[in-house]
Amino acid sequence: MKLVTYSVEGRQRVGFLLDEQVCDLGKAASALGFDLSPGGDLASVATNEYRGLLNEIDEAARESMQDEWCTPLDEVQLHAPYRPRQNILIAGGNTPDEFTSQRMRNGRPMLRYHTKAPSAVADPGEAISWPRQLSTEVHAEPHVAVVIGATTSYVEPSNVMANVFGFTVATNVVAQDLKRKHGQWDKAVSLDTFMPWGPVLVTADEVDLSELSCRLWLNDRMAISGGAESGLLKTAEILSELSFGMVLHPGDVVLTGTAESVGHGEVPERWLQDRDVVQSGIEGVVQITNPVSTY
Amino acid sequence: MATVKEAEETSLAFTFGSSVVSIHAAAAALGRSFESAVPTTLLQVIEAGPELWADLEAFYDSLRDCEFPDDARGAWWWDWDGVSFEPPIIPRKNPWVVGANYYQHLANGFARIPRPAIAPPHVEYFTKAVNSIVGHDADIVYDKRVTRTVDFELELAVVIGKHGKDVPVADAYDWVFGYTVANDISARELQLGHQQYHRGKSLDGFCPLGPVIATTRETGDPNRLRMRQWVNGELKQDWPVGDMIYKIDKLIQVLSEGMTIEPGEIIICGTVPGVGFEQLPQSWLQHGDVLEAEISRIGLLRNTIKMAGVG
């Protein structure tokens, strides 16, 4: 199922995509005779507990789509999936060229796990925006965003993917100069609008990450491209490591790393500027576009 | 104010010395009404804004000098030991924590890994996971497969009262709702090994908060408070809160540059000398250790360290 948060006529709803239509999840469920009313935001239904039910609704809706609960995609406004209930985890330095900068433990690199405040979440199309006097070295990275679907504590890599609800793309916007200034990275990635993500949250059963590329285009030129599982640690290894000692709950979000570290593939590095357009995508699954506007 | 649990029921509470008063139950019993309904969590109270705070403050004042009736004990008030304390607040984003914010802590901590004992050039902010927050008297359970270097760090936690962005330093205290006590429990080998501190600071149970949030009216100037921490009754940390390199107003100003701070957001201001990391040899917390972290005019936060699989 492809879940979205969208609005028509100013009202925000939870929906799912069928071809070029957006279906209202609550209305579709009740029309098709299912017991599901998305009370709050998308996060309230994006749990593995509901996954079977969601798939049944998806199938039933395909067979009997009705105008009362569907709207053409081009008539709605899509939003970020939801605001996570705690900071978004980021697997920092999960790229082969960062290998020598990592410490090792039990034969594995110790990634630079850091976090992004949920207040940074931005909708598709919303401007990525920051004060020029605060940072002059902002860049953007495409990440796979993993949405946790079940309480996850001390789970081995071989089992942990069963606890994933789904995947989408996130643009991890980073102020490199603030990273250096503060030493710890959390503030440098947490400015308002520094987390465009979504809009389509695809359930895990529809995605095989090992087959996919994660890419970033800067003004229609491909700037970063790499396999979604080409990092030093695979998604399953990251989630498992985090779950050892840090419980993950449904709705928690983990960004698993980017293909290249900085500079948008250019030497010297090319920083974001006013009127740039940034697009991140997971090939064939989801993409998000945001303009840049400093103030 | 506190969040307490008694007989499986969670209540928003005032504390008076060793008495704990359920705000909702006391208001109902005493026929006290409020301009607007009092929400059920402290986060919602803070988000509701200053009119509700003033109303609650007036109710608090009216109870301050009361003799609580014996027959209402267990109905709308309890003895301190008769309730369990939940975390006073669960914020909507990770608590921010400031690294190396007291000179003497810098000198002690980094003498072992050569680095000059001077002020860091800028504020160092990292975060502790919301998922790691626990309350007063909670056990902090570590697993030796994950860490064997658990340490304590007593810190003042600032609770933000309203939205703000690019907050001017001169007005920054206007953004403070109140203060609580935090113990920034740390797994040192993970903190330093991952280089970014988040994981080493966010293991389950590693962010005890509480037991109460004292509003700014109760604390007065936080820089005049004293902080002390005992481990198994032995005094380990004892320092003036106000000795920060970057003061509370500066921490708020810099954090809010380009980033909206929100009601209920927490800024934990850094620890003071005496942690296990600074000792020669370094010493780590063990199964059964009891931490008592106290800041004057706020309260005493007690937690016990447990190792998974023991007892």
What are the tens digits of pLDDT across the range B206-220? 999 999 999 999 999
Domains identified in chain A, total number: 2
Q: Which stretches of B102-233 are assigned E, i.e. beta strand?
A: 124-127, 133-134, 139-142, 150-151, 154-160, 176-183, 186-187, 207-215, 226-231
Q: How far apart (Å, rounded) are the C-alpha atoms in residues A225 and A141?
A: 10
Name chain B contacts of A251, Cβ cutoff 8 Å.
none
ipTM metric: 0.95
CA geometry: angle at A170 spanning A166 and A172, to 5°? 145
Phi and psi, residue A240, nearest 5°? -65, -45
B131 touches A: beta carbon within 8 Å: yes
Name chain B contacts of A117, Cβ cutoff 8 Å.
93-94, 127, 259
3-class secondary-structure state, position B224 = helix
A51 belongs to a structural domain: yes
How does strand A11-18 pair with strand A2-8?
Answer: antiparallel
Q: Which residues pair with A248 in a beta bridge?
A: A152
The pLDDT confidence band at residue B112, using thresholds 50, 70 and 90, is very low
> Does residue A32 share a domain with residue A57?
yes
Which residues of A lie inside 8 Å of B (Cβ-Cβ)? 83, 85-87, 89, 92, 102-103, 105, 110-115, 117-120, 130-131, 134-135, 153-154, 181-187, 190-192, 242, 244-249, 252
B110: pLDDT strictly greater than 60: no
Residue B196, CA distances (Å) to A185, B134, B258 in order: 7, 22, 22
Instruction: Write the pLDDT tens digit of every residue in B269-279.
Output: 999 999 999 88
> Does residue A185 share a domain with residue A263?
yes
A206 belongs to a structural domain: yes
Q: How far apart (Å, rounded) are the C-alpha atoms in residues A282 and B87?
A: 39
> Does residue A233 share a domain with residue A100?
yes
Q: How far apart (Å, rounded) are the C-alpha atoms in residues A162 and A156?
A: 11
Contact B94 A184 (CB under 8 A): no
B94 touches A: beta carbon within 8 Å: yes
Tell me which residue in B124, B194, B203 faces A245 most closely, judged by beta carbons.
B203
Terminal Cα-to-Cα distance of chain B (whole angstroms): 34
User: Contact, A201 vs A285, CB < 8 A?
Assistant: no
How buried is A173 (Cβ within 10 angstroms: 0-12 exposed, 13-18 middle, 19+ buried)? Answer: buried
Give the helix/strand (H/E) hosting A20. none
Measured between CA atoms, how close is A194 to chain B, in angstroms?
10
Mean per-residue pLDDT of chain B: 94
User: Contact, A256 vs A143, CB < 8 A?
Assistant: yes
> Does residue A54 share a domain with residue A165?
no
Short-list B304, B302, B299, B267, CA closest to B289: B304
Q: How far apart (Å, rounded) are the C-alpha atoms in residues B119 and B99?
A: 11
Percent of chain A with pLDDT over 90: 84
Phi and psi, residue A287, nearest 5°? -145, 155
Q: How far apart (Å, rounded) are the C-alpha atoms in residues A97 and A120?
A: 28
Name chain B contacts of A102, Cβ cutoff 8 Å.
195
Q: Show which of A60, A78, A96 is a domain's final residue.
A: A78
A71 belongs to a structural domain: yes
pLDDT at B113: 44
Q: How far apart (Å, rounded) are the C-alpha atoms in residues A46 and A165?
A: 7
Tell me which residue in A87, A110, A192 faces B260 most closely, judged by beta carbons.
A192
pLDDT at A209: 92
Measured between CA atoms, how close is A187 to chain B, in angstroms?
7
> Does residue A218 share a domain with residue A94?
yes
Measured between CA atoms, how close is A43 to chain B, in angstroms?
14
The pLDDT confidence band at residue B283, using thresholds 50, 70 and 90, is very high
A163 belongs to a structural domain: yes
A83 belongs to a structural domain: no
Q: List the CATH number of the domain containing A286.
A: 3.90.850.10
Tell me the two tokens of residue A293: 């506007």
CA-nearest residue to A193 within chain B is: B259
Q: Which domains, from first to last, does chain B contain?
A: 2-85 (no CATH), 96-307 (3.90.850.10)
Tell me which residue in A134, A186, A247 faces B131 most closely, judged by beta carbons.
A247
Tell me which residue in A87, A184, A242 faces B196 most closely, judged by beta carbons.
A184
Tell me which residue in A105, A135, A246 faces B129 most closely, judged by beta carbons.
A246
CA-nearest residue to B204 within chain A is: A246
Give residue A257's Cα distance to chain centre: 11
A281: pLDDT strictly greater than 80: yes
Q: Show which of A20, A55, A78 is a domain's final residue.
A: A78
Measured between CA atoms, how close is B158 to chain A, in angstroms?
17
pLDDT at A258: 82
Tell me the two tokens of residue B32: 């006290």
pLDDT at B306: 98
Mean per-residue pLDDT for A174-190?
A: 96
Q: Residue B249 contacts by C-beta under 8 Å, 6 or more apart in sequence?
A: B169, B170, B172, B173
Phi and psi, residue A175, nearest 5°? -95, 100
Mean per-residue pLDDT for B74-89?
A: 95
A230 belongs to a structural domain: yes
> Does residue A145 share a domain with residue A69?
no
> Does residue A155 share a domain with residue A67?
no
> Does residue A137 share a domain with residue A6?
no
Q: Show which of A54, A78, A102 is a domain's final residue.
A: A78
A172 belongs to a structural domain: yes
Measured between CA atoms, how close is B146 to chain A, in angstroms?
7
pLDDT at B106: 65
B194 touches A: beta carbon within 8 Å: yes
Name chain A contacts of B145, Cβ cutoff 8 Å.
244
Name chain B contacts of A112, Cβ cutoff 8 Å.
194-196
Q: How far apart (Å, rounded) are the C-alpha atoms in residues A217 and B10?
A: 50
> Does residue A151 share a domain with residue A52?
no
> Does residue A190 share a domain with residue A63?
no
CA dihedral angle for residue A169, residue A175, residue A181, residue A184, rounded to 10 degrees? -10
Instruction: Write the pLDDT tens digit of every residue in A212-261.
Output: 999 999 999 999 999 999 999 999 999 999 999 999 999 999 999 887 65
Instruction: Write the pLDDT tens digit of every residue in B169-200.
Output: 999 999 999 999 999 999 999 999 999 999 99
Edge-first strand listing for the sheet containing B84-85: B77-79, B19-22, B9-16, B2-6, B84-85
pLDDT at B116: 45
CA-nearest residue to A110 within chain B is: B194
Q: Which amino acid is at A51?
A: R
Q: Which of B128, B162, B199, B250 to mutate to test the interface with A (most CBs of A within 10 A)?
A: B199
Return the top range by mean pLDDT from A5-14, B99-108, B255-264.
Answer: B255-264
Domain that holds residue A46: 2-78
Tell me which residue in B99, B204, B255 faces A246 most closely, judged by beta carbons.
B204
The pLDDT confidence band at residue B59, using thresholds 50, 70 and 90, is very high
A264: pLDDT strictly greater than 90: no
> Does residue A150 share a domain with residue A268?
yes
Mean per-residue pLDDT for A124-153?
A: 97
Measured between CA atoms, how close is A98 to chain B, in angstroms?
13
Measured between CA atoms, how close is A102 to chain B, in angstroms?
8
Contact B257 A131 (CB under 8 A): yes
How does strand B150-151 pair with strand A286-291?
Answer: unpaired
B297: pLDDT strictly greater than 80: yes
Q: Report, in angstroms and rounded to the nearest whole number, the Rg of chain A calculated over CA atoms.
A: 19
Short-list B53, B48, B54, B263, CA closest to B164: B263
Measured between CA atoms, how close is B190 to chain A, in angstroms?
8
Mean per-residue pLDDT of chain A: 94
CA-nearest residue to A183 within chain B is: B124
Name chain B contacts of A135, Cβ cutoff 8 Å.
258
Tell me which residue in B93, B131, B196 faces A246 most closely, judged by beta carbons.
B131
> Does residue A107 share a domain with residue A48?
no
pLDDT at A56: 95
Contact B146 A244 (CB under 8 A): yes
Name chain B contacts of A249, Cβ cutoff 8 Å.
131
The pLDDT confidence band at residue B105, using thresholds 50, 70 and 90, is low
3-class secondary-structure state, position B153 = coil
Q: Which residues pair with B14 in a beta bridge?
A: B21
Q: How far apart (Å, rounded) are the C-alpha atoms in residues B84 and A136?
A: 49
Give the helix/strand (H/E) hosting A224. strand A221-227
B127 touches A: beta carbon within 8 Å: yes
A22 belongs to a structural domain: yes
